[in-house]
Structure 1
Amino acid sequence: MTRILHILDHSLPLHSGYCFRTRAIMKAQIASGLQVAGVTGVRQDQHGYEAQALLEQADGLDFFRTLTNVQGPSPVREWREISVFADRIAEVVREWRPDVLHAHSPVLNGLAALRVAQKAGLPLLYEIRAFWEDAAVGNGTGREGSPRYWLTRQLENHVVNAADAVAVICEGLKTDLVARGVAKEKITVSPNGVDMSLFGKPSVPDEALRRELGIAGKSVLGFIGSFYDYEGLDDLISAMPMLQSHCSESHLLLVGGGPMEEKLKAQVEASPAASAITFTGRVPHEEVERYYSLMDIMVYPRKSMRLTELVTPLKPLEAMAQGRIVAASDIGGHRELIEDGVTGTLFPAGSPKKIAEKLAELLKNPAIWNQTVENAREFVSKNRNWSSNILRYDPVYQRLIAHKSYERAA
């Protein structure tokens, strides 16, 4: 039985889009007959979960841990992380004996995995979920064009060129790599997906929660996620007074938290539509579905930048699978998922006025919602279902294993 070792920044029991994609991949691969395990680096602790043992189980999945604590100033710390992680991956390879190393971004994981793959003679598939340098710009910890940005890009190019195969989560990332000179044939697109067994049935509205939040009788616009600047929530808040003038029953429900939380709350306090906007704070993952059930339209007003133009998010897919109407900015990452007027609604990025106009149009035409919801769920089921998405990896794995076997025989 083929064994795949996933090399990860962090994993369950932490909750993040990164962790949920990993969980979906691993669960679907086990169901398809593969043996899989993950190994996480030293950043597992930095994300808020301190591992207790060298091998742990989470949601029925096996994760090998790296328990070493790494200190030092940047970039010395990062190089130490790579070395420590490479040593741990090598230990797991000797113990678990995988057939393929499947490393997932960021690039530090790719560099550690590459060291081990070359020494052990194992094939390496490197998967990019976002370019790390662009993600740093998006969350406010980096600056485009800086020396750190340039260096990270060069390291990414090195891993991409040295890996046996590359996977990306969307066409935007593939197009960017091809423009850098990477052969199309080396790249497999494995898009973000949804486990329809988890999201396949629309949730029944939680009336008790509706009363608790004071939104009975309201048309609820919702956002569930992290409050980063690139999410464009400030534009959505700016749109609310204009939307209220068209649809007085509209109400915005913001679920989550993050770096922009205090700034957004201050913006709401100063807004004439303050009474029509509610922050819930972060909610436990198992409670999220209760909030989804109250939202008539899920809104994703992301700003236009390299990160959002190139990378497709997971949240709109989950909302579409939940049977929610989706409205989003017309950035590249959204256009890969949403066909305007067919599976959802697109509005110009960065324009509160256009956001208000599009949302008002949606709220005044509920007769079109059922068909839009049906179209969106059909799209997700056919094109973004994990049970079919993971099949894209299989021919890559088998080709890499066969090639390495040939090299050893020669």
Structure 2
Amino acid sequence: PRPRPHSSSPSTVYRLPSTDAVRQKWQLGDAPTILLYSRFWEFRLERIVTLVRLIAAQLPQARWLMVGQGLQGEDRTLAAHLAEAGLMDYVRFTGWLPFEEVPDYFAAAHAAVYPYDDTLINRTKCSVKLIGLLEAGVPVVADAVGQNVEYIQHGVSGLLTPPEDDESMAAALVSLLQNPEQQQALGQAARRDLAEKFDWAYLAKIAERAYG
């Protein structure tokens, strides 16, 4: 059977606050900032090292906010890999954050990356974290895997790249970081799509018609 998509609720849609406090705390200045909001298990950690390296080579002023904590220390392992590669200057690890603080970090990002390896599990699940990013109006670059392709309309409400193609993902991120107008357009469309297509009331009407 086809997996059931998660829905959106207007009461949980984020309202983006000021970015100043987060950017000051993590010494981001005016750097273009990429958000990775994750539990660090839906992708191979080596991919993140590759993405940081590729983007540093093309846009050295860019910085990363890595928000979240792995279930088995994956975030610490990733930090060790990045340190070994000499890339830690580009990255800020926040660890686990209380839910009420997460919108501050969404607001501080110019773009979010959503790596999603092409595995059987990922093909049949949807991440609440992706929905949160889209609801908040953060422009997302994601692997075209599983239900990502249902939630993101490529070029309209986000950007999709071929599964596990790190060079394409890095190029999409660099391009997006250099295009504030596209950031705004994608973010607004993402919020609108979530509200219109995945709202509980809208989905309930579809179910009523199907079973009516």
TM-score by length of 2: 0.88
Q: 1:227 aligns with which of 26, 40, 51?
A: 40
Q: How far apart are 1:216 and its partner, in Å?
A: 1.6
Match of 1:237 in 2: 49
- C-alpha distance after superposition, 1:306-334 (max 9, x if no partner): 11122222222221111110110111221
- C-alpha distance after superposition, 1:323-357 (max 9, x if no partner): 11011011122112112111101122223222211
Q: Structure 2: 5+ residue runs without aligned partners?
A: none
Match of 1:53 in 2: none
CA contact (8 A) 2:34 2:64 kept: yes
Asked if residue 364 in structure 1 is aligned to residue 178 in structure 2, the reply is: yes
- Give 1 or 2 for the bigger CA radius of gyration: 1
Query: Which aligned segments of 4 or more residues in structure 1 are displaced greater than 4 angstroms?
Result: 390-396
Between the aligned partners of 2:157 and 2:102, the Cα distance in structure 1 is: 23
Q: How far apart are 1:361 and its partner, in Å?
A: 1.5
Q: How far apart are 1:299 and its partner, in Å?
A: 0.9
1:308-319 to 2 correspondences below 5 Å? 308-319=122-133
Match of 1:346 in 2: 160
Between the aligned partners of 2:90 and 2:65, the Cα distance in structure 1 is: 9
CA contact (8 A) 1:191 1:389 kept: no
Between the aligned partners of 2:59 and 2:200, the Cα distance in structure 1 is: 38
Q: How far apart are 1:395 and its partner, in Å?
A: 7.6
CA RMSD of aligned residues (A): 2.2
Match of 2:62 in 1: 250
Match of 1:403 in 2: none
CA contact (8 A) 1:303 1:350 kept: yes
Q: 1:216 aligns with which of 12, 21, 29?
A: 29
Match of 1:207 in 2: 20
**Structure 1: which amino acid aligns with 2:9?**
D
Match of 1:138 in 2: none
Query: What is the identity percentage for the equivalent residue pairs of Structure 1 and Structure 2?
Result: 21
- C-alpha distance after superposition, 1:372-396 (max 9, x if no partner): 2222222111111234334556689
Match of 2:104 in 1: 290
**Structure 2: which amino acid aligns with 1:283?**
L
> Which structure's relative contact order is higher, taking Cα pairs within 8 Å and 6+ residues apart?
2
**Structure 2: which amino acid aligns with 1:206?**
T
Q: How far apart are 1:271 and its partner, in Å?
A: 2.2
